[in-house]
Structure 1
Amino acid sequence: MTNSIQLKIENKIATITLNRPEVFNSFNREMALSLQSILDDCENNTEVRAIVLTGNGKAFCAGQDLKEVTDPDSNPGFKKILEEHYNPIITRIRNIKKPIIGAINGVAAGAGANIALACDIVVAHEKVSFIQAFSLIGLVPDSAGTYFLPRLIGFQKAQALAMLGDKISAEDAEKMGMIYKMIPLENFEAEVDALALKLANMPTKALGMIKELFNKSMTNTLEQQLALESKLQIEAAQSADYKEGVTAFIEKRTPNFKGK
């Protein structure tokens, strides 16, 4: 754990908090590398069965810290920023076989917006906004924004948002399918906690397989997807959680899943 990232593990839930509120949780190199390391730790920690990614303060994440890229002494350059910072963060979020909730607590702009959209389940409170801010400073979307956004909301809408840099409210984001759910501000923390606890007590192995299936569905043919569904369903049927789930159903009780 570093000053720029906070980590709390409780009730099988790892809560990762971006913690540079003075710059709206914008990323510098130290913060990006720290997040990667913490995601790796959460993946390898068998006690962690769900992950919450959120921000401290008024913002979720404002994207790249522009002071870093304009400082001639500390500027790592865009090649390094993308290949060593954002791209590894996105691939980790998608490849960790545990559910990741994006709990969007404030504005999510630029790379911050696209890191949010890469999470498995994205919720935001009613005062949150999402901005594809890249074009407003002469850049193009990165952090898989051009991959996920058109798949979430459609090609035409996604391209317009990328070009125009419109600010999208959480309410509109939910309506267009960009996020799973908008939550009233006063209920936000409680609902995020309840959602994370629900996921942490579900069959983690099966949730990881569901995540893999949806990842592969982005590029698989129908035949390839059917074959992968068959392969993973056979594996899921051999898990301890499947046996517990069936037994609990027959016995009419709540299952006690162990994530195995």
Structure 2
Amino acid sequence: MDPVLLDLHDGVARVTFNRPQRRNALNLAMRERMAEVVQELRRNDDIRAVVLTGAGGAFCSGGDLEGILGAELDNDGWRTRMRGLHHWLKDLMTLEKPVIAAVDGAAYGAGFSLALVADVILATPRARFSMSFLKVGAVPDLAALYSLPRAVGPRLARELMLSTQELDAERAHALGIVSEVVASEQLLARAQQIAHSFTGASALAVGLVKTLTARAINSDLDSMLDAEAAAQALVFGCDYHRQAIDRFLTKQPPLFVWPQASEQDA
């Protein structure tokens, strides 16, 4: 059984963590397969957006603890293994395409970290999020030490990591981690709807927004103003921008519209 499924349809790639018998816990096979999948996401220009989800009613329950316990490594060995296993993570985080996480059930530990890679997180009412690493004497990984403080601020990130408290979907939504709470039966449809809307967006503009907002938190005003000017020079010179302006002036429907959530989704 393929531990990570990749399905391509109408410009949208759906990536499914596929170890439902273990609530999609990350093992070595999944990590190696993710490296292959992420490279396909990066090199395939027909892919305009990505949906991350999990099979069998869970997103990802974290790292496979049996696999960790069975690895006989010293400190240097673990450091090398972690760096090598997660080289694909940076490629996914810097992907110049929108990533939507569709979370049902558990997103614990590394699963929570993987959800935080996404630009938009959708969650069902039964979704649960926990930085559970400390329960097994571990430090948050898969870039959680980078991404969670940027999502909720350093103090709250520290509290969530130290307390290992479980967040339900509504609490995660209130904290700004989850974008929308969606009924279970509507989750994938809503994720696909959002992802598909980006097939009408400017791939150049989307990529620049992702790249520059990632840089902004460690930058200064003058640097970001310079980056903004350079980015606008690029998009103003492309055909998409001119076509979009023409459609606006002639009162035609825009090429890109963010799809509003249905009242039945909540």
- Shared fold per TM-score greater than 0.5: yes
Give the corresponding residue for 2:30. 31
1:85-234 aligned within 5 A: 85-86=85-86, 88-234=87-233
Q: Distance in 1 between matches of 2:110 and 2:55?
A: 17
1:82 aligns to what?
A: 82
Which amino acid in the other structure matches residue 83 of structure 1? R
8 Å CA contact 1:54, 1:60 repeated in 2: yes
RMSD over aligned CA atoms reads 2.0
Q: Name the structure 2 match of 1:56.
A: 55
- Count of aligned pairs: 255
Amino acid at match of 2:30: M
Q: Supply the AA of the counterpart residue of 2:189.
A: A
Q: Deviations over 1:77-122 (max 9, x none)?
A: 5324421223x23311221111111111221111110111111111
Alpha-carbon separation, structure 2, partners of 1:78 and 1:253: 57
Contact 2:12 2:192 in 1 (8 A): no
CA distance, structure 2, for counterparts of residue 251 and residue 122 of structure 1: 35
Q: Which stretches in structure 2 are left out of the alignment for 5+ residues?
A: 257-266
Other structure's SS at 1:60 match: coil
The one-letter code sitting in structure 2 at the alignment partner of 1:66 is L
Whole-Å separation in 2 of the counterparts to 1:81 and 1:125: 34
Q: Report the AA paired with residue 178 of structure 1.
A: I
Structure-1 separation of matches of 2:158 and 2:248: 46
1:245-256 equivalences in 2 (<5 Å): 245-256=244-255
| Separation in structure 1 between the aligned mates of residue 248 and residue 175 of structure 2, nearest angstrom | 36
CA contact (8 A) 1:124 1:183 kept: yes
Instruction: Please give the per-residue CA displacement for 1:152-185, whole angstroms capped at 9, x wherever unaligned.
Output: 1122221111001000011111101112222122
Q: How far apart are the structure 2 equivalents of 1:72 and 1:50?
A: 36
Q: Percent identity?
A: 27
Please name the residue that 2:261 is paired with: none
CA distance in 2, matches of 1:22, 1:159: 31
The answer on whether the counterparts of 2:131 and 2:140 sit within 8 Å (CA) in structure 1 is yes
Secondary structure, in 3 states, of the residue corresponding to 1:59?
coil
Report deviation, 1:235: 0.7
- So what's the TM-score if we normalise by structure 2? 0.90
- Rounded to whole Å, the distance in 2 between the matches of 1:218 and 1:77 is 33
